[in-house]
Structures are given as structure tokens and as C-alpha cells.
Amino acid sequence: MTTATHPLDTALQLQSTATPGHYQGRTTPDYWNMVGPFGGITAATLLRAVLSHPRLLGAPLSLTVNYAAAIGEGDFTVRAEPVRTNRSTQHWVVTALQRDADGQEQVTTTATVVTALRRETWSATDLPMPAVPAPAQCARVETAFRSEWLRRYEMRLVSGALPTQWDDSGHTSLTQLWVRDAPERALDFCALAALADVFYPRVWLRRARQVPAGTVSITVYFHAGESDLAATGTGYLLAQARAQELRNGFFDQSAQLWNEAGQMLATSHQIVYYKE
């Protein structure tokens, strides 16, 4: 019997170098988007660098990734540096670089990460999971366009499908869908970071017009601990996203991810460039 490596684990492979916190990675066709890797896989890869660092304290609490340039096919470098370590939190600055045609290393992506040791405390939600049909009752999304990374996710739509008519008739930006890795894979922090970016651009829905768009910066707040991830396993997440404001070339997106038991695993925000 052979066990195939999951495409996500292939994408997240980082080779240590002589310098602690400096890693070599390589893009994979499995998560290719239009002009570079799916933003979620880049976020997950930068988080992986932090989680691989020998000086890591705790688990991910906050992740912000800024997409400065598209990553080209091939090798890239990730540098993760713990710039301040406190008793229960650790602050990271992360940079991804790639050589340009002249062999010069150029920054493609920056990130900051906070990791933390968490303890059980009084807890509550102020945004319960919406009542929606179960995954099995929701039709699987057939992707209307050909980005390879979309095949790495099983998506079952609740509401807010990709418009079929691009006629400027849109009136909402809300999408709700059940989603998990395809093939199935037990949830971990890196997979969760990538899942926070699975939504097509909100401007397409709000406007019912397909304009060029791309994420500039994404932030993910992790509410799940290891036990929540283990309890979620290979189950579906309910992923919900909406824009708040779309103005002069940029819109924001607010997103939430719950597991099937209704536990909030992560909340996320991003600011996205759009044209016209």
C-alpha cells in the first residue's frame, strides 16, 4: 500500500536552510490561480514557516498577509522571524521573496503573525452560526471558470452563487457555502488559513459584473484551538462572506468559518482590488 501525499501537504513543503527561520519552497500546479498561486495557499505557506520554526511559542492567533506581487512558477524563499517573545504571546514578521530575471531577490509577500499560548476561560459567541441546510442537502458547486485551485475544494452552496448573468443586477454580496479540502484532509491551522480565502470576489456578486479583482491584504483570527480542529476532522465548514464597502477600486470582505457543530473556528477580513 502506498499513501499519496495530499496536495495541500505538497504545497506546504518547506525545506530548512542553514539560517533558522529561512526556508525554500516551490509553487505547485495544484493550487494555481490565474497569474500565481491561490492567495489562500500563500497565506498557509507563510503560516507554515512560522509553525516550523524551532522557537515557536503556542498556536496561531492572528495572521495578516499582504500580497505585494504575484509569485511566479518555481522556487521561492520564506523568512520567518520572531521579533518579540513574551510570556504567552509571540510576534512574527514573515517575508516571501523570489528572484527576478536579474537574479535579485524581490519581496512578493509580507506577513505578520501572532502566536499564543491559550488557556480555557469564560467564552461566548456574539455571532451564532446561521440556520442553513446540511451539506448533503446542498448542491456541489460546478466551477464556471478554470482555476486549478478550485478543484482542491469541495464546495456545497447555500446562498450567493456566482451570477450566471453579468447584467449589473446584483443587490447583495453575501455568500454562504459548505466547504472542505478535496480530497478530504483533517483540518489544521494551515488548511484553515487557506479556507478563509475560498470566496470569489464579492464585487462580482454585488454588482453582477465580472471585473478583474485580486486580494491585497487578508487577516485571519483563529478562534479554534487544537481540540476544536481535532473535533472538526474532515468535516465541512460553513463559510460565509460579505463585503461591507466597495469604493474606488477596493472593497473589503468580512468572513466567518464555523464547523458543522456550529463552533466558530476563524473570522477573517480582506481588502481586494477591483477594476472599473
* Residue (of 66, 47, 43) closest to 56 by Cα position: 47
Sheet holding 59-67, edge to edge: 15-16, 22-26, 75-85, 89-99, 105-116, 59-67, 213-222, 264-274, 250-259
Tell me the C-alpha distance between 81 and 223, whole Å.
23
Nearer to its own copies, 111 or 138 (CB): 111
Residues contacting residue 2 through CB under 8 Å, at least 6 positions apart: none
For its own copies, the closer of residues 96 and 138 by Cβ is 96
CB of 107 to its own copies, least distance (A): 4
Shortest distance, position 93 Cβ to its own copies, whole Å: 6
Q: Which is nearer to its own copies, 8 or 257 (CB)?
A: 257
Please give the torsion angle defined by the CA atoms of residues 208, 209, 211 and 217, in that order, rounded to the nearest 10 degrees. Answer: -10
* Positions that interact with its own copies (CB under 8 A): 61-62, 64, 66, 68-69, 83-84, 86, 89, 91, 93, 95, 106-108, 110-112, 114, 116, 118-127, 172-173, 202, 206-207, 216-217, 219, 221, 223, 225, 242-250, 252, 254, 256, 264, 267, 269, 271, 273-276
Nearer to its own copies, 2 or 248 (CB): 248
Q: In whole angstroms, how close is the CB of 249 to its own copies at the nearest point?
A: 5
- The label of the residue with cell 504567552 reads 88
